[in-house]
Amino acid sequence: MSFPCHAMSTPSLRTRLPAVGTTVFTQMSQLAAEHGAVNLGQGFPDFGCDPRLVDLVNEAMRAGHNQYPFMTGVPALRSAIAAKVEALYGRSYDAASEITVTAGATQAIMTAILCSVHPGDEVIVIEPAYDSYLPSIALAGGVAVPVSMRVGDQGYSVPWDAVAGAVTPRTRMIVVNSPHNPTGSVLRAADLDALACIVEGSDILVLSDEVYEHMVFDGQQHESVARHPVLAERAFLISSFGKTYHVTGWKVGYVAAPAALTAEFRKVHQYNVFTVNTPMQHGIAGYMADPSPYLDLPAFYQKKRDLFRAGLAGTRFELLPADGTYFQCVRYGAISDMPEAEFAKWLTAEAKVAAIPVSAFYSRPTESGIVRFCFAKKDETLKAALESLSRL
């Protein structure tokens, strides 16, 4: 029996993410490389991690920790995470049933959304927002409901009245991020109280992205949802070792959540990634025995922030507050009236310094004349960038 032959062609595919292209971070990093620019765009360090951490990972490999670990994560690492969270925030999570190790925070975010958001459910997202939130909601069939932060001379703040006004009977989750990427703002205790007032007595979940938890400056403490009993009982708390230990390429993070939420999270996690790099988990678990690397991190990054801000003070950029993270937002109105994306490209090509337009963190076109710099760089890198920026 013979079959007719047809011209070869690739079948058409209906996209699940029609509004998504290449991320702005990739675009700006590529542009920086093309122009030989100092890359203060994408948020990663240009310096190495502690050699002791690398040694611990090597030791784990040599000890034979190279096969699948438990789906939920290496027990020693989950215990170390639980101990750290309790010591810092006073919330006791059971390492066996309430802590899950993930392939970075981005996977944790997507899995938390996929396990809890059903088609038609609404998810309130506070913008500007990290770029993985909206695609994760879309893949779950949910509906993102954006609420814009207010920005003034004192920086960015969450309008909790607007958040409360966005709640409907279909609201399933509210996503919060503190310290906040891209704005560098942080939530205070009063902010958590306001969020608790909105969700208390409802079935609304909270996804709390706290990957920059150890980068809060000027003597302030990080206000984790784990500190707040009302929020902790309904929250997926997400953090990342990549940010804390300067190893963003390792992609190891974790989720802490009440047992009932964790059980649903793990149902998706086991088919999403199943499990996470074994020797890295063992190495990080051993490294966590000494808390000083994360306890000393605020002072480490505040020194870089202060160096960068002091240099920018002599330029035509207008500094916004930077209370946390390793990001500094600036207004550039005294230099140009270009839209943010155009200005960021111009800055990379002409001043040889790459930045990220804050407009890229909104679901709809939003121009505020602000770009974001990353100061997680060697001092000489920051000084080279400042020299160029001072000439504008």
**Residue 9: inside a domain:** no
The CATH number of residue 303's host domain is 3.90.1150.10
Q: Which residue has the higher pLDDT, 234 or 24?
A: 234
91 lies in the same domain as 222: yes
What is the pLDDT, as a whole number, of residue 23? 79
Question: Which tokens belong to 287?
Answer: 């490294």
Per-residue pLDDT, averaged over 257-286, amounts to 98
Domain final position from 290, 318, 342: 290
pLDDT score recorded for residue 378? 97
CA 83, CA 134: separation in Å to the nearest integer?
A: 32
Please give the average per-residue pLDDT across 144-151, as a whole number.
98
- Using pLDDT thresholds of 50, 70 and 90, give the confidence band for residue 6: low
The predicted model gives 148-162 an average pLDDT of 95
pLDDT band (50, 70, 90) for residue 21: confident
Alpha carbon distance 243, 325 (integer Å): 9
The answer to whether residue 13 sits within a structural domain is no
Could you report the per-residue pLDDT of 203-243, keeping only the tens digit for each? Answer: 999 999 999 999 999 999 999 999 999 999 999 999 999 99
Query: What average pLDDT does the segment 277-297 reach?
Result: 98
| pLDDT for position 148 | 98
Mean pLDDT in residue range 193-207: 98
Look up tokens 């970075």; give the residue. Answer: 104
State the pTM of this model. 0.96
**How far apart, in whole angstroms, are the C-alpha atoms of residue 142 and residue 119?**
5
Rounded Cα–Cα distance for residues 233 and 205 (Å): 9
- Distance between CA atoms of residues 288 and 346, nearest Å: 43
Query: Which stretch of DSSP H or E encloses residue 24?
Result: helix 24-35
* DSSP conformation class of 180: P
CA-CA distances (angstroms) from residue 141 to 19, 22, 111, 159, 382? 14, 21, 13, 26, 42
Q: Compute the CA torsion angle 267, 273, 279, 284 (nearest 10 deg).
A: -70
Residue 5's pLDDT is: 66
Placement of tokens 């007719």 in the chain:
4
Task: State whether residue 296 is helix, strand or coil.
Answer: coil
Q: What is the mean pLDDT of residues 97-108?
A: 98
- What is the b/e burial string over 193-222, where b = at least 16 CB atoms within 10 angstroms of the residue's CB? ebbbebbeeeebbbbbbbbbbbbbbeeeeb
269, 372: one domain:
no
pLDDT for 2 equals: 66
- Partnered with residue 205 across adjacent β-strands are 173
Q: If we measure between CA atoms, which residue out of 31, 25, 30 comes closest to residue 43? A: 25
Given a contact cutoff of 8 angstroms between Cβ atoms, the answer to whether 151 and 158 are in contact is no
Tell whether 348 and 284 lie within a shared domain. Answer: no
Say whether the peptide bond before residue 119 is cis (omega within 30 degrees of 0). Answer: no
Mean pLDDT of all residues in 63-75 = 98
Task: Provide the pLDDT for residue 20.
Answer: 83
- Do 114 and 199 fall within a single domain? yes
d(CA 125, CA 106): 15
CA dist 73 and 53 (Å) reads 18
- Structural domain containing residue 191: 51-290
Q: pLDDT: is 339 or 43 the higher one?
A: 339
The band of 310, judged by pLDDT with boundaries at 50, 70 and 90, is: very high
Local confidence band at 4 (pLDDT 50, 70, 90 cut-offs) = low
Residue keyed to tokens 């994408």: 42
- Residue 87 included in any domain: yes
> pLDDT tens across 375-384, in order?
999 999 999 9
Q: What are the phi and psi torsion angles at 217 (to 5°)?
A: -110, 175
Q: Is the pLDDT of residue 358 over 90?
A: yes
Per-residue pLDDT at 22 = 76
- Does 4 reside within a domain? no
Distance CA(113)–CA(97), nearest Å, equals 19
Does 1 score more than 80 pLDDT? Answer: no
Using 50, 70 and 90 to split pLDDT, how confident is the model at 175? very high
Quote the number of domains for the chain: 2
Indicate if 281 and 223 belong to the same structural domain: yes
* Three-point CA angle 144, 145, 146, nearest 5°: 110
Least confident segment among 12-21, 99-108, 113-122, 326-335: 12-21
Q: Give the list of residues 6+ apart from residue 248 with CB closer than 8 angstroms, or none.
A: 43, 44, 45, 242
Judge whether residue 309 has pLDDT over 80.
yes
Which residue among 290, 306, 332 closes a domain?
290
Give pLDDT, residue 154. Answer: 86
CA quadruple 9, 15, 21, 26: dihedral positive or negative? Answer: negative
Considering the chain, what is the average pLDDT of its residues? 96
Percent of the chain residues topping a pLDDT of 70 = 98
Section 84-95 average pLDDT: 98
Give the CATH number of the domain where residue 198 resides.
Answer: 3.40.640.10
